[in-house]
Structure 1
Amino acid sequence: MKYLLIVSFLFQFFTTSANAQAYKYHTVKKGENVFRIAQEYKISEEEIYKYNPDAKNGIQVNEKLVIPVSNTTSTQTQTSSETAFVEHKVAKKETLYRLSKQYNVSIDDIKRFNKHLYSEELKTGETVKIPTGQISESSVAEAISESKPVTPTSTSSSNPSPTPSAGTQVMQTGKTREHIVLEKETRYGIARKYGMTVAELDDMNPAVEMLQPGMMIRVGTDVLKDEPVIILDDRFEFYEVKPQENLFRLSQRFGLSQDSLKELNPALKDGLKYGMILKVPVKGGNSNSGEMSYTGTEKKNTKMDLRKNINNRSAKELVVLLPYHLNKVQDDSISNYKDIIMNERVVRIALDFYSGVRMAVDDAKSMGISTNLRTFDTKQTAGEVINLINSQNFRNVNAVIGPLLQETTEAAASRLEGQNIPVINPLSNREMRGYKNLFQSRPTEEIMRYAMMDFIAANSSGKNVIIIADPKNASIKSQLSSMMPSARFADPSGNAVSEQKLASMMNSGKNWVILETDNLNLISSVTSSLNRQARNHDITLLTTSKNNAYDNDLISNNHLGKLKFHYPSVDKEYDTERTKDFIDEYEKRFGIEPNQYAVRGYDLTLDVLLRLASANNLYESFEAFPGYTEYYESKFHYLPNAEGGYINDALYILKLNEDLTISNADDF
């Protein structure tokens, strides 16, 4: 057998017993079998199997068995009171807590007589037994004895097997077994061992407040193979999977590749499930894998001011790769290049971005950080990027900023990976190939969606949530529904949602409407309808993706402002008062006010230079300063990308106000 059975505690569910039961250990001797041991103690083989389920697969010499023995030294008079019950049909939104208050009984007493509730959620339409009056111990004993498989109560004839609420991992049967707690075992380790959630384990053992070695508790019967004992050292800890998390998010969270997570957690071969207990690196711990260690959410939410930590004042070697298309300039025609700038958006973006780079280099110089800045024209082709790297000296380069596009960035990262030179893409939000030296400074659309969903789930309590999603966004709708089971849906018909239907779903409190679509006509229809209803209702409009359709002239910003429009964004609205000196200096130098690309160039470059000046290299700066950095419009917090390299997951949740100003709704 796999466990030492130390019985100092048995069934904490009982406070008294009609016939007290004692137990002892039996150490298996050579030549003994279950039959002989049962004869020795004058008990049946079934009783041995009851307390030692693994014995059905055979017993080994020196293994210890729990043996029930009669204890006749103490008996107590069994109460003659028989437990009375009422049958209660569960209504929508009813919980065990509400039932316990309604019938003035404890939640534990309800579970005792409805054994499936130790492992399953209360379901609408099922009938449960509610104990009333004095509860006899014989009834309790019967209720918590080894149970038969539980058949869920039908909610209707058309749905004989009710589906558990989304995200809930439900045990397949009501069968349980006993587990003796070993030294250093935790709730997480035991739950993981038996394929349970921590909530399920706690529900099965309501009287257990703190685990102690030798304590006997109830667990499920689905034992994970290959992991008989789960006791962790100081390199690892347990993590319980939250609703809607996936391997991509977890690999980023813990700084591990998906393959590494699967190696640490063999159960992942069958897929990730809500409530699973995973073995992960200790927060801030060291890893021999060469990957950046996980630093934790609490540190991510700490703002770092790298200006106070400058200690590496060696000159920084910085290369900027951007598509200037200088090959199109004719020697005798500067005006020709001006035409190129006006006609090619990528070239305009590159020049604006580079102007911000130069501003950052000059500001860094005033802080004592000197920079050798070189810039090259990529001509917007991967071939030219490769030619540049092959022909130029990159040996002592501390970091490369650019190129702009995915293909050219991947070409640069691939060529410089062997030298471990960081390549920072400034603007692309597309998922890129995994190179260990590739940094994506702009969060992907997936990261932004999940951040917004986290915000909505964390702040939706007490709100009347209405979800509007077109068929293209069915998966987002499903995820939002799982996170907020009480949310209601207003499905669009064509390019509109019935205004009458929307009106009927409003209440007198706070109404949150989540709109998931890139259909311009649907956005226009919904925002116009909600704007009219906002005269009599408190309505907030939210989306997990503010796509280009929201910037169309057909969408009224006044409507969005009145609806307190919430959305995720990489950039925030910069404070003109706080940035006055920067704007004045930029206008003096370039003759125009800086646009978003110029400010982005400044923010990103200054962040890179400050990180290089506060550590030996860019990689070490993340270990030394695990929080986020923030500048005029952008902030940065890099996590290991599951596919290789690093990605910035810092962003803003913005709110459009009625006066059309923009403020931070929440700071991620």
Structure 2
Amino acid sequence: MKKKLIIIVILLCSFSVTAQDYKTHKVKEGETIEKIAKQYLVTPFDILALNPDVKKDLKPNTVLIIPRSRVKNEEIPEETTELIGYKTHKVRRKETLFSISQKYGIEVEDIKKYNTALYSKNIRKGDKLQIPRFKKIVNKVKLNNTIKKYKVQPKEGKWRVAYKFGITVPDLEELNPNMNEVLQPGDELNVPNISNNEEKAVDEEFNYYTVLKSEGFMALNRKLGVTQEELEALNPGLKEGGLKLGMVLKVPGNIETTNTLRDVANTNLSANLKNLRAKRIALMLPFSLNKVDVDSVQEAKKMIRANGLLSVSLDFHSGVLMALDSAKQLGISTNLKVLDTRNQIAEISSILDANDFSEYDAVIGPLMPANLERVASKLKSDHIPVVSPLTMPKNLHSNVFQTIPTDELLEQAIINYIKKDSFPRHMVIISDSKHKAISDKLKGEFPSAKQIHSRKDKKGKEAYFIYQQDLENVFQTGTNIVFLETDNEGFASNVISMINGLNMDDQKIVLMTTNKNKAFEGKEISNYHLSNLEFHYPSVNKTISVGSRDNFVKKYMNTYNVSPNKYAVRGFDLTLDLLLRLASGDDLYEASTSDIETEYVENKFRYSKKMFGGYYNEAVYIVKYEDLTIVEAKQ
């Protein structure tokens, strides 16, 4: 009788699966629930709900029931590896299992697996390790159902789209490798092919949070003040599937969830110095000394004035030297090697061929993106950090540190700044057609804002002006925030002079922009007007005041008899931060987690790691004009 009952249950289950249009998947060696869920664009909870027996033990050849609704119809590269031999590696000074794994492009666990003694002891200089060599085999697997196209709606960013379709942000990025960093209304994306009634709506009464790397329930409780039980109640399926990188969680509406740019208490690295061995740093700058007539002081001065890159390099270098001296007073000694790149790829290739950088702690520079790309690519295999000091790298390789925040981060910083202010205000967005995208983004962030666009001439071309009548009845009693988005000096002058005339005691106007470019610095722009309008903008750095008594400024003036410019200060801040991080951890990677924010004379640094790339600085200032000076705007 018992056997018959079992047969009936199996038949019922079989009928249910067929009726709901599911398919099956045979588990392969090494596969996990998460990997299978990602392949079929479902959540681990979806699989576990249909296959409860595999929660504790997932065995090869187990047949899983998989929902069909989210399966991709494109060919998916499925990569496997096959062991083909070994290579012997002799451990060098400072090397770790992590750096060795990065050098050979394998996992740390792979090294331990074929060197079993490492499970019970640490590596030492001189140890010989057996490094496995694998052959990659790529098979293309084509599945049945299709993804579908989705047009981004106003106010939607990556997290909103990911939440809507029940996937993580990394899943969305993998489906759309060419997706813009900031989504614009009308952008077309690949999304899971789920029915409309399966799409999750974003409830504006709640806030939403994107899970960061290695975050667990305890970390979220500390950061957000919400318990695991509360999260599981708001996010069905979380209890079964657990937290995943990039997962979008619904949280109570009174919780601040901005994690693109967040406030982090400044870290005093000098209070936690534990690695005081001498640091080896290479500095690559385009001095082009082969073109400088060192025998003639006048000719050398003339060359410095005429060559902008040389001038920047000398100023930056002077700041670096000051940083080395400050670090030395803290017990950090540095072996600095200065290399002249001449701003030529051929010269950089010669430098790379002539020098062994495998024992260096970091390389600062080169300045120009193409040259830095050459150095970063070459040193990537040795996992040597390459720091881009003044420009945006062409590619954010895993060993690259991008110290300049992106335009997207700058934009988000001033948006977050306004959102933190609880005082009522009226919003106006003025832009030319070239900057319509950012105007629309601001409108999405502040739906009640009024948009005004520059006028066009009789031929329909941009005329870069607005009439006084365009501003009639626009401003209200109280605080009015005006965003001006343009790179045209004439248009900026036209708008700024008009709104300054409308700035009154009972009708206060505060001018802001997401991108403070040369249009706001031209001869036609009045600094009196900017100061009167308390002009706010996001900035990579703040500006030290004239006559500052900062120790660095005083020491620099005593050494060089001039005040340090922004490049000298940048050289000091960046280099001192680099040395302090190296002295507070085993290497720069360990000392550059996103919970460490440092601040110096004019610059601050907080690094986040791109999922499949390097590190980028996300620390941004909001500054403003006040009494004809530029100061940090604090709330």
Alignment of 1:564-575 (within 5 A): 564-574=534-544
Distance apart, 1:395 and its partner CA: 2.7
Alignment of 1:405-484 (within 5 A): 405-428=368-391, 430=392, 432-459=394-421, 462-484=424-446
Deviation track 1:169-198 (CA, whole Å, cap 9, x = no partner) reads: xxxxxxxxxxxxxxxxxxxx999979xxxx
Q: For the structure 1 residues 281 and 421, does the alpha-carbon distance in structure 2 shift closer, same or farther, using more than 3 Å as the test?
A: closer
Report the TM-score, using the length of structure 2 for normalisation: 0.62
Matching residue within 278, 289, 299 for 1:315: 278
Moved more, 446-455 or 469-478: 446-455
Matching residue within 306, 311, 333 for 1:343: 306
Q: For the structure 1 residues 476 and 193, does the alpha-carbon distance in structure 2 shift closer, same or farther, using more than 3 Å as the test?
A: farther
Q: For the structure 1 residues 463 and 274, does the alpha-carbon distance in structure 2 shift closer, same or farther, using more than 3 Å as the test?
A: farther
Q: For the structure 1 residues 351 and 439, does the alpha-carbon distance in structure 2 shift closer, same or farther, using more than 3 Å as the test?
A: same
Whether the 8 Å CA contact 1:300–1:626 is kept in 2: the answer is no
Please give the secondary structure, in 2, of the residue aligned with 1:607. Answer: helix
Distance apart, 1:550 and its partner CA: 0.8
CA distance in 1, matches of 2:422, 2:485: 17
Letter in 1 for 2:356: N
Deviation track 1:206-254 (CA, whole Å, cap 9, x = no partner) reads: xxxxxxxxxxxxxxxx995369xxxxxxxxxxxxx9955338999xxxx
Alignment of 1:167-206 (within 5 A): none
CA distance in 1, matches of 2:430, 2:600: 35
Deviation track 1:318-375 (CA, whole Å, cap 9, x = no partner) reads: 1110011101023643432221101011110110000000000001001110011110
Please give the secondary structure, in 1, of the residue aligned with 2:482. Answer: strand
CA distance in 2, matches of 1:249, 1:369: 48
Deviation track 1:569-626 (CA, whole Å, cap 9, x = no partner) reads: 0111225676433222111211211111101100000000000111111001124x72
Whether the 8 Å CA contact 1:283–1:296 is kept in 2: the answer is no
What is residue 563 of structure 2 aligned with on the other side?
593
Whether the 8 Å CA contact 1:503–1:533 is kept in 2: the answer is no
Distance apart, 1:456 and its partner CA: 3.2
CA distance in 2, matches of 1:473, 1:191: 42
Please give the secondary structure, in 2, of the residue aligned with 1:373. Answer: strand
Distance apart, 1:296 and its partner CA: 6.2
What is residue 225 of structure 1 aligned with on the other side?
70
| RMSD after superposition | 4.1
- Is 1:552 aligned to 2:515, yes or no? no
What is residue 583 of structure 1 aligned with on the other side?
553
Could you list the runs of 5+ residues in structure 1 that have no partner in the other structure? Answer: 1-25, 35-51, 61-188, 195-221, 228-240, 251-255, 287-291
Q: For the structure 1 residues 248 and 350, does the alpha-carbon distance in structure 2 shift closer, same or farther, using more than 3 Å as the test?
A: farther
Distance apart, 1:535 and its partner CA: 3.0
Q: For the structure 1 residues 365 and 278, does the alpha-carbon distance in structure 2 shift closer, same or farther, using more than 3 Å as the test?
A: closer
- Is 1:651 aligned to 2:630, yes or no? no
Distance apart, 1:57 and its partner CA: 3.7
Could you list the runs of 5+ residues in structure 2 that have no partner in the other structure? Answer: 24-41, 48-66, 73-152, 163-167, 178-187, 193-198, 203-207, 220-244, 248-257, 456-462
Q: For the structure 1 residues 280 and 424, does the alpha-carbon distance in structure 2 shift closer, same or farther, using more than 3 Å as the test?
A: closer
Q: For the structure 1 residues 579 and 647, does the alpha-carbon distance in structure 2 shift closer, same or farther, using more than 3 Å as the test?
A: farther
What is residue 633 of structure 2 aligned with on the other side?
665
Distance apart, 1:279 and its partner CA: 7.4
Please give the secondary structure, in 2, of the residue aligned with 1:618. Answer: coil
What is residue 511 of structure 1 aligned with on the other side?
480
Deviation track 1:520-540 (CA, whole Å, cap 9, x = no partner) reads: 111000000011001352001
- Percent identity over the alignment is 34
Matching residue within 149, 157, 163 for 1:245: 157
Q: For the structure 1 residues 586 and 391, does the alpha-carbon distance in structure 2 shift closer, same or farther, using more than 3 Å as the test?
A: same
Whether the 8 Å CA contact 1:397–1:421 is kept in 2: the answer is yes
Distance apart, 1:427 and its partner CA: 0.6
Deviation track 1:615-650 (CA, whole Å, cap 9, x = no partner) reads: 111001124x72210000000011113562111111
What is residue 270 of structure 1 aligned with on the other side?
191
Q: For the structure 1 residues 490 and 370, does the alpha-carbon distance in structure 2 shift closer, same or farther, using more than 3 Å as the test?
A: same
Please give the secondary structure, in 2, of the residue aligned with 1:639. Answer: strand
Please give the secondary structure, in 1, of the residue aligned with 2:448. Answer: coil
Please give the secondary structure, in 2, of the residue aligned with 1:546. Answer: coil
What is residue 215 of structure 2 aligned with on the other side?
283
Q: For the structure 1 residues 540 and 647, does the alpha-carbon distance in structure 2 shift closer, same or farther, using more than 3 Å as the test?
A: same
Whether the 8 Å CA contact 2:22–2:68 is kept in 1: the answer is no
Q: For the structure 1 residues 299 and 515, does the alpha-carbon distance in structure 2 shift closer, same or farther, using more than 3 Å as the test?
A: closer
Distance apart, 1:277 and its partner CA: 9.1
CA distance in 2, matches of 1:58, 1:304: 55
Report the TM-score, using the length of structure 1 for normalisation: 0.59
CA distance in 2, matches of 1:440, 1:462: 37
Whether the 8 Å CA contact 2:430–2:453 is kept in 1: the answer is yes
